[in-house]
Amino acid sequence: MSFPLRPMLGATVALSLLAAFPAQAQTLQSAVRALDAAGTRSIQLTGSGSWFQFGQAPDPSLPWPRFEVSRYVADIDYEKASARVQISRIQALEPGRVRPAPVEQKVDQYVSGPVAWNLPTAAPAGSGAPAPQAQPGAVAERQAEVWSTPQGFLRAALAHKAKSRPLKGGGSEVSFTLDGRHRFVGQINARNEVEVVRTWVDNPVLGDTLVETRFSAYRDFGGIPFPGRIERSQGGYPVLDLQVNDVRLNGAAALAVPPEVASATQQIPVVKVDKLADGVFFLTGGTHHSVLIEQSDHLVVVEAPLNEERSLAVIAKAKETVPGKPIKYLINTHAHFDHSGGLRTFVNEGAVIVTPKANVPYYRKAWSAPRSINPDGLARSRKGALFAEVDGKRVLSDGKRSIEVHSIVGSGHSDAFALVYLPAEKVLVEGDAFTPTAANVPAPARPNPYSVNLYENIRKLGLEVEQIAALHGPRVVTLADLRSAIGEVSASR
| Nearest CA-CA partner of 203 in 248, 237, 229 | 237
Q: What is the dihedral of CA 92, 93, 98, 103, to 10 degrees?
A: 50
pLDDT of residue 440: 84
Q: Are 60 and 362 in contact (CB under 8 A)?
A: yes
* One-letter identity of residue 309: E
C-alpha distances (whole Å) from 151 to each of 236, 244, 469 are 25, 15, 49
Cβ distance 323 to 356 under 8 Å? no
3-state DSSP call for residue 177? Answer: strand
CA angle 51, 249, 141 (to 5 degrees): 35
| Whole-number pLDDT of residue 9 | 34
Distance CA 175, CA 184 (A): 6
* pLDDT the model gives residue 167: 93
* C-alpha distance from residue 263 to each of 81, 118, 306 (Å): 19, 15, 20
Q: How many residues are present in the chain? A: 493
DSSP helix, strand, coil percent of the chain (3-state; round to 5) = 20, 35, 45
Strand order through the sheet with 272-277 = 272-277, 280-284, 290-294, 299-302, 327-331, 352-356, 387-390
Mode of pairing for the β-strands spanning 427-430 and 467-470: parallel
DSSP secondary structure string for all residues of 345-400: HHHHHTPEEEEETTHHHHHHHHHTS---SS--HHHHH-PPP-EEEESSEEEEE-SS
Alpha carbons 109 and 103: distance in angstroms, whole number: 19
CB 75 within 8 A of CB 44: yes
CB 1 within 8 A of CB 178: yes
Q: How far apart are CA 417 and CA 356, in angstroms?
A: 6
**Strand-pair partners of 199:** 184, 211
User: Taking the alpha carbons of 313, 315, 318, 322 in that order, is the dihedral positive or negative?
Assistant: negative
Is 134 exposed, middle or buried (CB count within 10 Å of its CB: 0-12, 13-18, 19+)?
Answer: buried
Strand partners, 241: 50, 231
CA dihedral over 206, 331, 476, 323, signed as positive or negative: negative
Distance CA 454, CA 417 (A): 11
> What is the spatial distance between Cα 308 and Cα 343, in angstroms, rounded to a whole number?
8
Note whether 228 and 243 are within 8 A (CB).
yes
Per-residue pLDDT of the chain (493 residues; tens, 9 = 90+): 544 443 333 444 444 444 444 444 577 888 988 998 878 999 999 999 999 999 999 999 999 999 999 999 999 999 999 999 999 999 999 999 999 999 999 999 999 999 999 999 875 555 567 899 999 999 999 999 999 999 999 999 999 989 999 999 899 999 999 999 999 999 999 999 999 999 999 999 999 999 999 999 999 999 999 999 999 999 999 999 999 999 999 886 778 999 889 887 667 789 999 999 999 999 999 999 999 999 999 999 999 999 999 999 999 999 999 999 999 999 999 999 999 999 999 999 999 999 999 999 999 999 999 999 999 999 999 999 999 999 999 999 999 999 999 999 999 999 999 999 999 999 999 999 999 998 888 878 899 999 999 999 999 999 999 999 999 999 999 999 999 999 985 443 3
pLDDT at residue 91 in the model? 98
Judge contact between 393 and 405, C-beta under 8 A.
yes
β-bridge mates for residue 469, sequence order: 429
